[in-house]
Structure 1
Amino acid sequence: MEDVPSYVAATFIAIVIAVLGFLYYSISAATSKKKNITTTLVIVLLVGWIFFVSVQTLNGYFTNLSGVPRLPLMAGVPLAAIVIAFLWRKSRTVLLNMPITTLHYIHIVRVPVEMVIWWLAVSRAMPMDMTFEGVNLDIISGISAPFAAVFLVGASKNRIGAIIWNVVALGLLIHIVQLAIGYMPYFFTPSGGQVANLGIFYFPYVLLPTFIVPAIFFSHTVSLFQLLFKKNQSHF
């Protein structure tokens, strides 16, 4: 990763901080009566998770490719936490009260994320197929996120349009995740000038599959949960 410019890592760390900020605001707004306890607990857990994954990465835990695929398993932890949040009745109440406009604005970070992926691909730390020059169209979700936040769930409300946007954007996210998994060195042998998806095995880019992607997935699922099941749609 020595060939990757330092500004790439700096940009990505800024993205991580921005996502934390969006999540903090969303949880804080949804737990106004118990803001200090609930919000602080969740943010401490998130920061602790980021710290834990970062330390493991710096110690070379993920670059050991022998045995069980470690990175996909680690990325599964936050996804399991999301499932638990939907299964637990008290947390579902919090999910229903999160500001849905914020849950849409968070997707703006997908634009700089795609730039980071492109920079890594140029440095041959990721395959070019995973960029907007390849078959990754996820940047469209980031570009259209402000439109969705304003015209679908904001001042102008279009419930059906918001559901469609979330489903399509979620589909684009799942597509790039499938692509990223397929290019991992566990499953891919470099050939024809293509390189393996190695960048995510190093700090800070390891936080893409272990924090950023789960946060984006979480925002989509909570938004769809509200759009489909929240009775009072006037509180978008």
Structure 2
Amino acid sequence: MMEDIPGYVAGTFIAIVIAVLGFIFYSVSVATNGKKNLTPSFVLTLLIGWIFFVSVLTFNGYFTNLSGVPRLPMFVGIAAAFILLLFLWPRTRSILMKMPITTLHYIHIVRVPVEMVLWWLAVSRAIPMDMTFEGSNLDILSGISAPFAAVFMVGSRSKSKLGAIIWNLIAMALLINIVSIAISYLPYFYTPTGGKVGNLGVFYFPYVLLPTFIVPAVLFSHLVSLYQLIFKKDQSQF
């Protein structure tokens, strides 16, 4: 199955991972006032360490072992718990509040190439077509509309706090929709019949980084944006 996937699919996905790392590093750098602060480097090292750890486990067949506790959902839960902790700790909350909100919207552009990767995986029968824009996944609309939201809702040209909140909520709903579809097709819960396929591609490198890194990063961007839009007193700082 996975050996039939063209090399450019993995190359595209790895480029997406690097782009998301770049967006996060830049956002933290701006929030912590630049080069002299070690926080951006620490965050980047932490994220690369997480990616390396997950990748090593993947190469060792950790996630394809389906016995016992569902391992892939467990790691997604760890990432989600870490995001929650960032909002509970006052020091990190202050950094989140200073992140450039336009960058936090531009990051969602990566959802367009992600959808292309999902479609290529579906064509190779590594995931079900229902997880693509040909099925029930409309998440590509978030990526297409992200530049518009960045420029006209939180950018320098014009601002619309209500519009930005609505856009983030809709885009987050589309994210939750595809995540729900992906979960329903995992082999823990779904047994393919009649020539259908399950969601198996995410158990292999580099696509395992979709649920364990890309999706948490996108969710994080939405949550930080909404946090700023709702609680930031000086809206002119966007």
Which residue of the partner structure matches residue 224 of structure 2? Answer: 222
Deviation at 1:197, TM superposition (A): 0.1
Deviation at 1:209, TM superposition (A): 0.2
Which residue of the partner structure matches residue 232 of structure 1? Answer: 234
The one-letter code matched in structure 2 to 1:172 is: L
Q: Distance in 1 between matches of 2:199 and 2:79?
A: 21
Show the 5 A alignment for 1:84-99: 84-99=85-100
Deviation at 1:76, TM superposition (A): 1.2
Q: Percent identity?
A: 72
Does structure 2 retain, via aligned residues, the 8 Å contact 1:12–1:205? yes
Show the 5 A alignment for 1:93-172: 93-155=94-156, 156-172=158-174
Which residue of the partner structure matches residue 186 of structure 1? Answer: 188
**Where in structure 1 are there 5+ consecutive unaligned residues?**
none
- Where has structure 1 moved over 6 Å in runs of 4 or more? none
Deviation at 1:33, TM superposition (A): 6.3
The one-letter code matched in structure 1 to 2:75 is: M
Q: Distance in 2 between matches of 1:21 and 1:33?
A: 14
Q: Distance in 2 between matches of 1:176 and 1:33?
A: 36
Deviation at 1:193, TM superposition (A): 3.2
Equivalent position SS for 1:2: helix
Equivalent position SS for 1:36: coil
Equivalent position SS for 2:126: coil
190 and 39 in structure 1: CA distance in 2 versus 1, 3 angstrom threshold: same
Equivalent position SS for 2:4: coil
- Could you tell me the TM-score, scaled by structure 1's length? 0.98
Is it true that 1:55 corresponds to 2:59 in the alignment?
Answer: no
Deviation at 1:37, TM superposition (A): 1.5
Equivalent position SS for 1:32: coil
Deviation at 1:199, TM superposition (A): 0.3
Q: Distance in 2 between matches of 1:231 and 1:83?
A: 22
Q: Distance in 2 between matches of 1:67 and 1:99?
A: 42
Q: Distance in 2 between matches of 1:33 and 1:149?
A: 22
Deviation at 1:75, TM superposition (A): 1.1
Q: Distance in 2 between matches of 1:170 and 1:192?
A: 33
Q: What RMSD, in angstroms, separates the aligned Cα atoms of the two structures? A: 0.9
Which residue of the partner structure matches residue 213 of structure 1? Answer: 215
Which residue of the partner structure matches residue 41 of structure 1? Answer: 42
Q: Distance in 2 between matches of 1:211 and 1:51?
A: 11
**Where in structure 2 are there 5+ consecutive unaligned residues?**
none
Deviation at 1:112, TM superposition (A): 0.1
Does structure 2 retain, via aligned residues, the 8 Å contact 1:128–1:194? no
